[in-house]
A = this chain, B = another copy of it.
Amino acid sequence: MNAPDTDVADGGLDDWRAQLRARGLRLTPQRELILGAVEQLRHATPDQVHARVRETSEAINLSTVYRTLEVLEDLGLVRHAHLADRAPTYHAVTGDPHFHLVCRNCGRTQSVAPETVAPLQRALHEQEGFEMDVGHLTVFGWCTTCPSDHEEHTHD
């Protein structure tokens, strides 16, 4: 279900290398691996990305991951959101924007299409003069289909 040959997926892949060079930056295996890892993992912390790329290349350093994530985010290729209290998680910008739901109970992360926030987006724009950044949005709460509904795990 990946529709590989639609515009964004393909064009983006070819394009980002060009973007790098256009900025005087360099295309390194580390950067390719790290972007690949972010795409595969869907949602991952810097540490998880690091672990993933290490499966391929042992030598890649954590600080390189941090630095690269910053570059990639700057290029608009990845974004991050805070899916847990103290954990930035990065995800690839594959073309379709989305925001996240995080269940305090089961910890599950769910991606939701931006249309769902459209009303809020409109309301904030009109009532508060505020333009929201949908892609960074994380909504915490509880999924009603959750195994152990609302009880127990009352810590944050």
Contacts and interface: CB of A to CB of B under 8 A. Distances in A.
A127 B116 contact: yes
A142 B130 contact: yes
Nearest to A117: B120
Contacts of A88: 85-86
Q: Is the interface of A mostly helix, strand, loop or mixed?
A: mixed
Contact of A128 (B82, B110, B127): B110
Interface in A72-100: 73, 82, 85-86, 88
B132 A136 contact: no
A124 B110 CA distance: 11
Contacts of A142: 130-131, 133
A18 interface: no
Nearest to A108: B130
A145 interface: yes
A112 B131 CA distance: 14
Given A85-B88, A88-B85, A119-B120, A112 B140 contact: no
Interface string A96-138: 0000010110000010100011011001110111111100110
B136 A137 contact: no
Contact of A144 (B82, B123, B130): B130
Contact of A130 (B82, B130, B137, B143): B143
A141 interface: yes
A80 to B, nearest CB: 8
